[in-house]
Amino acid sequence: MAAARDGAGILCGQLSRWPDLHGIIRDAGAGGELDKLLAALGGEDEPDQDQVLAWLQVIEDACASKGLVGITSREHAFRPLPAGLFPASDLSAWVCPRGRCDRVVLPDEAQAPPACVVAGGTPMRPFTLPPP
């Protein structure tokens, strides 16, 4: 389910950029849901997508009640690749090491593989576009 992957990717990116966000989510009353979500996404088995969406919604609602919106959502809009990167065949990026979210980190955003907070700090997996 694309919505679950999208929300998980957004939350992963937010948690990676803002380590204090863990505490903010807990203070907002969604710490239990965050723990369950991180355990499910970081586990070996594929998580139930409906349950992932439910946890994401509880986290979003709890944070929104404290004035912090957009922790697990964003407006969907076309985001072009930076100039000069397409259709190059050597574009490298990093993606979710477990393939459970849509987070992508481009080389201009990090010099080394960034860590996946959800997967317990596991380095993100390298990805290269196939030749055109």
d(CA 23, CA 122): 21
| Three-class secondary structure of residue 29 per DSSP | coil
Q: Which domain holds residue 16?
A: 2-65
Tell me the per-residue pLDDT of 17-73, one tens digit each, with 9 for 90 and over: 888 889 889 999 999 999 999 999 999 999 999 999 999 999 999 988 877 777 787
> Is residue 38 in a domain?
yes
Tell me the per-residue pLDDT of 83-122, one tens digit each, with 9 for 90 and over: 444 444 455 788 888 878 878 888 888 888 899 988 888 9
Both 6 and 61 in a single domain? Answer: yes
Domain boundary among the residues 47, 65, 83 is at 65
> Is residue 78 in a domain?
no
- Helices 2-17 + 31-42 axis angle, to 10: 110
Please tell me the total count of domains within the chain.
2
